[in-house]
Amino acid sequence: MRDSTPATPAGLRADFRRHFGGEPAVCRAPGRVNLIGEHTDYNAGFVLPVAIAFYVYAAVRARSDGRLRVHSTHFDETVELPITAGPASVTPPGGERRWSDYVWGVAQCLLARGEPLPGADLLIHGEVPLGAGLSSSAALGMAAALALTQSARRPLDPLTLATLCQRAENEFAGTRCGIMDPFTAAFGREGYALCLDCRTLTYRPVPLEAHQPSDAAAAAPRLVICNTMIRHRLAASEYNKRRAECERGVAALARLLPHVRSLRDVTLDELRSARPRLDAVIFRRCRHVLTENARVAAAATALEDRDFQRFGQLMGDSHSSLCRDYEVSCDELDLMVRLARELDGVYGARMTGGGFGGCTVNLVREDAVEGFRRFMAERYRQATGQSPEIYVCESADGASRLMQAPGEGQSWQRISRD
């Protein structure tokens, strides 16, 4: 979700007063860009995302009458959601998929784990571009989850919030996503990427910036996101289809290799040996996941070594694999990547997110950023007739409360990531 009006806690409180009256607390959660490791998270693999300083904000005030009212500034719409305890239905209120499903799903998951939800008024303001592959849905779910749990005086730890938001998106919003997006929204750390093992949920921060004076000569390049402004209709269905294809691959490989529970358990040599027994499409899907896991490990090491040339090469290899083996790129994304590769000062470029439109992520030398922005905007517009949005990204911390409600005292604390 993204609104053209810059968000401030004071401004959100003013909006809240206009819609609901009273004084709210304000929480927020960041979007994310994935540097490398695409479609590996739901295969128990490895990813290297960065939380970015585009946020979804949630202004919240507790109620005691069991009503949950939610207003979106982006859609200029207010909905009232059922939050009565009992067996949860996966059919959204009204029967159609909409933005409020993410909030409703979070509320249902909180109730299912026995958390009290006496009711709340919630105002949502989003800065994360919709449909761009920058995790607007996870930012919305995380902001809502943090706001609801804190307003009920039942704060949860960030890992619980992340797994709860993943479940809400899987079961109530219809997307079979992995853990990467809500995990990054919860655990993001300014100045760092997260090298995350999606099976064990252990991670290590990987520095994006030079943190020692001796590193000055190897100052980090900038992360620049180019939005194609394209979102193909098949994106959601094809995402779920890719996950189903990986599950078919796991089932076929498990018949040959009893130890296999996920693609994480398969070596590339084992996959090649099994090729005659696999459907050709399934083989390519599996090959992408296995090679992408290896690229994540190599990319994290390259980033720690300040070897940006190597990192950029791995980004290029990732895009090629996503295009040929996983088949989730599209003409507009491929054009963006080709254009970026024409320029000096660009270490690497690749699609990011689920695919079929959305954004590319680019690693660009600091002194080349402005020229990069002008070149990409002009050439992409000439080729497609579309004017792209181009964002120079700042890394960000994970979800947090910015302002407490009047009278809340010290009962709300920033969620701990220790």
Write down the architecture of domain 9-204+396-403 according to CATH. 2-Layer Sandwich (3.30)
Hey, what are 209's tokens?
């910036």
Position 282 pLDDT exceeds 80: yes
> Rounded mean pLDDT of 51-80?
94
**Range scoring the smallest mean pLDDT among 12-26, 175-189, 212-226, 267-281:** 212-226
Is residue 70 within 8 A of residue 81, CB to CB? The reply is: yes
What does CATH list as the number for 209-393? 3.30.70.890
Is residue 48 within 8 A of residue 348, CB to CB? The reply is: no
The per-residue pLDDT for 226 is 97
The per-residue pLDDT for 216 is 47
Band of pLDDT at residue 218, cut at 50, 70 and 90:
low
The number of residues in the chain equals: 418
Q: Between helices 136-151 and 100-112, what is the axis angle to 10°?
A: 50
Hey, what are 84's tokens?
């009565």
The per-residue pLDDT for 178 is 87
Residues 6+ positions from 119 with CB-CB distance below 8 Å: 62, 63, 64, 65, 66, 67, 68, 83
The per-residue pLDDT for 66 is 87
DSSP 231-243: E-TTHHHHHHHHH
- DSSP state for residue 58 in the 8-state scheme: E
Nearest residue to 346 via CA among 376, 326, 391, 386: 376
pTM: 0.90
**Range scoring the smallest mean pLDDT among 127-141, 157-171, 321-335, 404-418:** 404-418
Taking the C-alpha atoms of residue 49 and residue 32, their distance in angstroms, rounded to an integer, is 7
Could you read off the pLDDT of 391-402 as tens digits, one per residue?
999 999 999 998
Of these residues, 15, 121, 181, 325, which one is catalytic?
181
334 counts as catalytic: no
**Range scoring the smallest mean pLDDT among 167-176, 364-373, 396-405, 407-416:** 407-416
Helix/strand number for the chain, H first, E second: 11, 12
Strands 192-197 vs 68-72: parallel, antiparallel or unpaired: unpaired
Domain positions in the chain are 9-204+396-403, 209-393
Q: E-assigned strands of 63-173?
A: 68-72, 77-81, 120-126
Position 217 pLDDT exceeds 50: no
Residue 378: strand pairing partners: none
Could you read off the pLDDT of 113-148 as tens digits, one per residue?
999 899 999 999 999 988 777 889 999 999 999 999
